[in-house]
Each structure stands twice: as structure tokens, then as C-alpha cells.
Amino acid sequence: MSRFSERTDFARTPNPLALALERHRASGRPLLDLTESNPTRVGLPLPDAALLAPEDAFTYQPEPLGLVSARQALVADFAARGAQVSAAHLLLTASTSEAYGWLFKLLCEPGDNVLVPAPCYPLFEHLARLEGVQTRSYALPRAHGFGLDAREVAAACDARTRAVLVVNPGNPTGHFLHEGELAALADVCVDRRLALLCDEVFAPFAWDAAAPGRVATVAGRALPMLTFALGGLSKAVGLPGLKLAWTHVGGPGHLRDEALARLEWVGDTYLPVGTPVQRALPALLAHAPRFQAAVLERVRGNRQRLLAARPRGATWDVVPAEGGWSAVLRIPRVPGEEATCLALLDAGARVQPGYFYDFGGGAFLVLSLLPQPEVFAAAVEVLTRTLGP
């Protein structure tokens, strides 16, 4: 009989919310979905599909780090955001998830660990486990607005910690990394010999572009530790189906160059990114400002609708944030997250409980701000009616 790896033995038992959602869908009743985060399904602007059919789309040119023309387009995109980088320090993958797999291969032996924030999107534990790597959580204190506290990072380290992962801005918390936080984190990284993995997929979506002290990207900075800044078409251009992401490698020159040399071998082994999307990348990045402006208009408008709908003196509140696509609600511990989500589903609106994202210290709900305004407004009406005053 065949044997399977424990790395792929993930739990598959549906939780009560999943079972309730199945029943709701089977009933045929309408559903106002405030978990929708697919940008291709909510009426946002798309580029011309002809961009994916350039004349040289079928000319195969294997480049382990990605086509030079695509990486040069990213250099210009970084420059527009105030970061000066070199194409030689950029690596293309099919997704940021794939990039994490490569970075865990690069940095960790089986049994080593990486630090991941809590609360956070529930992905990194699975990606690490598939590489034989463990994760250890460090807390994003609610007292800091779920911002980074370097002391929490240091406390989470052990002898086998190899890297710390930061999501900038947090998903779903929406807190950007700030200059003082980055400086304190750099001290911990140097002291513990940690690499920094900075997930910047939501970085283009800062609600207040003029906020002082915010770190837009760690790329192009003279930081004392090995750094990896990740982004991709999935969020920056709203095209998750095109499967192209990028990683900028930075830090001290000897560490950066060794990392790139090793990653080039990994890239040459997989060669995962399709030629047409690489050829189209300059034009796709040219579309990005239009898409990002539409997202920011949608997100700001929906967040304002949510804030305006909260009754004075309500027992629930909207957690302050600085960017991204989500809103976090703090709700009473009783009846709590799951009971509230089930009540909302029964009333025709779907949200996510905070425990999906490893929130602690209270009860929370997570809402997507991407749905079309009329859908969002109708869902908020159900939300406020269900949550009560």
C-alpha cells in the first residue's frame, strides 16, 4: 500500500461555518458576500486581453530569474514608488506562494522555523509545512493597533529560527510597517541572524498616501540583514489568474549575491512563469494605476459606509487601519464570533470570524471592502441589524 507524507495530511473536516454555508447555498436563498476578495468578480477595471498575445508570445527564452524586459519594467515600477532597485536583484515566480516555497528552501533546513505574525491571513503555516519547515507566531499587539512590536519578535525566536515574516500592510489588519518599527526589527534580525521576508502585495493600497513614517517597501534600502520584498499581479493589478509575482533581494552585498546565486539554481530548476505574461508585464504595470485608483475609491467608500452605519454607542466598533482591502470589527465576546457569523449567514450576509486569522484578546469579524457599493450597503444593513445597538 502506498504511503503519504505527513506534510500533506491537512485537516479536512468542515467547520460549522462551512457546513452552514453549504446549507445556505443549497437552499437557493440569496447571499450578500462580505468575504469576496477576488478583484475580477466585483466590477473593477480590467486591461485589454490583447496584451497577452504579443507577437513574440510563443518565443521561448528560458531565464532563471525571469525575462530581463519584465524585470526592467519592475525597476521602473519600483522607481515610481520611490525605490531605486536593480533588475539583477529581482526574481520572478508564478505567485508569492511559490516564492515563499523557494525562500523556505533557501533559508531553512527541515525542522527549522520562521516567525509569522498573529493575527494574519492563514496561509504561511501551510506553505512552510509543505517545505518541512515550522512556523512560530509573534503577536501583533492590539494596544499597538496590531502594529509590529520588535520585542514580540525577539521573544518568539528560538535556536532554529531562520527568518521573520512581515506583512506590510497587515492582512487583514491594514497596519503599515513604520520606520521606527523597521529599525527595531532590523536590530533583532542582526542580533538573531534572521532574514526578513516582507510581503508587500497590499502596499499599493494605502488609504492616506501622505501618512508620515510609513514604510512603502523595504526594497532598495540599505538594511543590515538579508531582505526579500514580495509583490505580484494578483493584488497590484488585480489579476490573480495571470500567475506572475516578484521578489526583490536586498541586504548586505555578500549575502544578497549568495542568495541570488542559489535562487537562480532554484529558478532554473522550475522555470515557472509563462512567456506571454512576462512579455506583457510592462503594459500590465501601466494599467496598474487605473486599477489601484478604482480599488482605493471602492475601499474608501465602503469603509465610510460601514463607519456611517454604526449607531452611536454601539457595542461593536471598526478597528482603525491604514490600508488594504479589509475591515476588522471588534464585537462583544458574547455571543462571540462563530455565533455572530452563523446569525449573519441566517440573515443573508456572509463574513469571516476573527479566529480564521488567529486574532486573540477579544472577538472580531473580518469583512472585505471590495464588493460593489450596492452589495456592500445592503450587507451592512443586515450586519447592523444583526449586531444591534
Between 3.20.20.70, 3.40.50.620, 3.40.1390.10, 3.40.640.10, what CATH number should domain 49-287 receive? Answer: 3.40.640.10
Cα–Cα dist 343/110, whole Å = 43
What's the pLDDT at 211?
80
Q: For the chain, what is the mean pLDDT?
A: 96
pTM of the model: 0.96
The DSSP 8-state label assigned to residue 67 in this structure reads -
Closest alpha carbon to 364 in 345, 380, 387: 387
184 burial via Cβ count (<10 Å: 0-12, 13-18, 19+): middle
- The mean per-residue pLDDT over the stretch 259-285 comes to 97
Cα–Cα dist 347/332, whole Å = 19
Pure H helices in the chain: 16-27, 68-80, 96-107, 124-130, 150-156, 179-192, 233-236, 253-270, 275-309, 337-347, 373-387
Q: Following DSSP, what letter does each residue of 323-383 receive, concatenated?
A: BSSEEEEEE-TTT-HHHHHHHHHHHTEE-EEGGGGT--SSEEEEEES-S-HHHHHHHHHHH
Task: Report whether 126 contacts 97 (CB < 8 A).
Answer: no
Segment among 3-12, 50-59, 104-113, 256-265 with least mean pLDDT? 50-59
- Topology of the domain comprising 14-44+288-387: Aspartate Aminotransferase, domain 1 (3.90.1150)
Give the model confidence (pLDDT) of 353-366 as tens digits: 999 999 988 999 99
Task: Report which secondary-structure segment, H or E, holds 221.
Answer: none
Q: Following DSSP, what letter does each residue of 166-198 receive, concatenated?
A: EESS-TTT-PPPBHHHHHHHHHHHHHHT-EEEE
CATH 3.90.1150.10 boundaries in the chain: 14-44+288-387
Q: Say whether pLDDT at 1 is over 70.
A: no
Provide CB contacts within 8 A for 114, sequence distance 6+: 104, 107, 108, 124, 128, 133, 134, 135, 136, 161, 162, 163, 164, 165, 197
- The mean per-residue pLDDT over the stretch 141-165 comes to 95
Q: Say whether pLDDT at 114 is over 70.
A: yes
pLDDT above 70 coverage of the chain, percent: 100
C-alpha cell at 294: 478604482
Closest alpha carbon to 280 in 83, 48, 9: 48
- The mean per-residue pLDDT over the stretch 263-269 comes to 98
